[in-house]
Amino acid sequence: MGSIPDSARGPARDLSGGLAVEEIGDRLFLVTDGDYQAMVADTGEGVVAFDAPWGAEYVAAIRRVSPGPVTHVAYSHSHYDHIGGAGHLGAAVMVAHRATAGILSRHADHRRPVPTMTFDRELTLDAGPHTIDLRYHGPNHQDGNIFIHLPQQRVLMLVDVVVLGWVPFHALGGASDVAWYLDAHDTALSYTFDTLVAGHLTRTGTQGDVQVQREYLDGVRRACTRARQSVNPGDLAAATGTEDKWRFASTYFDHLAVIAAGDVLPRWAGRLGGAAAFTHSHFLAMTIALAHEWASIPDNHPGGPTGSARTHSFRHERSGQTAAPGAVRLPGPRSRPPPPIFSCSAPARGGRPPLPNSGPLAHHHWPARCREPDHPRLPAGRQADGEQAGRKTALQMPLKGSLRQSQSSVLCSNNVHDLGGAMGIRTPDLLHAMNHSAAP
């Protein structure tokens, strides 16, 4: 059950001289330590770095690719383990989604400089021979986690969503929104790419890896739905009593996870690495998400069926309409860029999925035109008043396009209404179970 399949092992890498560097496209390089992954693009006048999991050793690896300065760093999202080395790179421009800028401004961590160029929906960087498309399709692993696409090299970077050859990290990778995390797999598959850089573990991936993890997660979701339909909360209440509501809720969710894992784990232990380690946590996260987001109601809970259980479709409805960014041309090491402006009204280029104009994102305001601050190029280690002013301007702009409200905790208060709501059980049915069960 705990063996590691060959697909999870990846190629042997020589790390004796530092981080491994591998060209995965024309002047586009994977940098990895065998666990974390980042990318760098040589523009001919400098380097664009995509994430920064390391510090000085990352700088040394970049010097093996290009002697030019790191002019830009694109953040996939805000987590320290992926961008904690950004402060070592000396770049004047940090690019990220506006939600990421908001998170980092609150943390005020000098190791993760606050983004100086932000966007709400999409942004294209023309960087020498590279076209770099940055897109936000909604929260997944974290609010602000973006898709980074280089269509000419047919490379997609999507961090902390798909784990290549392995099951996801603990509790579905700590996804900030499980429904959108699931949907991110379909979004990834709608891109044109041959190589996927996922931010972690032993190798790069393909569309086939995304399809395999999607199949695994679909099995997890279906097994959790079946478990919810098979468990009578009244039976558990009779065993645990109801005075300690947290004990009752914990027993309920654990019981669902055990049942669901018994159905799925035997089929995946030999296909994906780490199944025995994290699968139980995936079922706990999924059962709670089903209760929070889809409110599946078991047909056999106390009080009888109230209608068919709702299940989640991975693919949200999306129209064929789309919006395309304007281009931001990256400057040379001594030039000053104009204020980048992007439009959200032009037709999109091919090779990228449409942004949603219907479904869960349709009711959110997407600004038609957004002006980004001006950012002078400075030598490494210097910071001018103009750059600080530009950074401040970016952060003062409202964080439009935030696509999720704050999730409540699993159980938000000690009353029956919230307990039943968190468990996805109607309040009258939960009262029935409590009132007709004996304390242990």
Condensed to tens digits (0 to 9), the pLDDT of residues 402-421 reads: 222 223 223 233 333 444 54
Q: Which of 82-86, 108-112, 234-238, 390-394 has the lowest mean pLDDT?
A: 390-394
The pLDDT confidence band at residue 269, using thresholds 50, 70 and 90, is confident
Which residue spans of the chain are classified as CATH 3.60.15.10?
Answer: 13-161+194-205+319-404
Asked if pLDDT for residue 42 goes beyond 70, the answer is yes
* Distance set, CA 124 to CA 49, 119, 184, 242, 348 (Å): 15, 10, 20, 56, 11
Q: What is the pLDDT of residues 198-226, one digit of tens each?
A: 999 999 999 999 999 999 999 999 999 99
- Give start and end residues of each alpha helix (H) in 132-244: 170-174, 178-189, 207-230, 233-240
Give CA–CA dist 49/269, Å, rounded: 36
Q: What is the CATH number of domain 13-161+194-205+319-404?
A: 3.60.15.10
Q: Which residue has the tokens 């030039």?
A: 335
Report how far apart the first and last C-alpha atoms of the chain are (Å, whole number): 36
Give CA–CA dist 366/357, Å, rounded: 10
pLDDT at 350: 44
Contact 431, 236 (CB under 8 A): no
- If one compares 361 and 103, the residue with the highest pLDDT of the two is 103
Contact 136, 127 (CB under 8 A): no
Contact 150, 73 (CB under 8 A): no
At what angle are helices 275-289 and 178-189 packed, to 10 degrees? 110
Q: How many CA atoms lie within 13 A of 192 on its CB side?
A: 11
Give CA–CA dist 158/35, Å, rounded: 15
Q: Which of 130, 96, 121 is nearest to 343 (CA)?
A: 121
Asked if pLDDT for residue 430 goes beyond 80, the answer is no
* Distance set, CA 66 to CA 85, 127, 128, 149, 381 (Å): 18, 14, 14, 21, 19
Provide the percentage of residues in the chain whose pLDDT is more than 90. 53
Amino acid at 268: W
Compute how many other C-beta atoms are within 10 angstroms of the C-beta atom of residue 413. Answer: 13
- If one compares 95 and 330, the residue with the highest pLDDT of the two is 95
What is the DSSP pairing of strand 93-97 with strand 70-74? parallel
pLDDT at 3: 78
Instruction: Say which residues have a Cβ less than 8 Å from residue 148's Cβ, sequence separation at least 6.
Output: 39, 50, 74, 76, 132, 133, 134, 156, 157, 158
Q: For residue 329, give the 3-state DSSP assignment.
A: strand
Q: Which of 23-27, 227-231, 426-430 has the lowest mean pLDDT?
A: 426-430
24-186-398-370 Cα dihedral, nearest 10 degrees: 60
What is the DSSP pairing of strand 117-119 with strand 122-127? unpaired
Q: What is the pLDDT of residues 292-351, one digit of tens each?
A: 876 544 444 333 333 333 333 444 333 333 333 445 555 443 333 333 322 222 333 445
Full DSSP string of 108-161: --TTSPPPSEEESSEEEEEETTEEEEEE--S-SSSTT--EEEETTTTEEE--SS
| C-alpha Rg value of the chain to the nearest Å | 24
Q: Which residue has the tokens 């692993």?
A: 141
Q: Which of 117-121, 185-189, 300-304, 396-400 has the lowest mean pLDDT?
A: 396-400
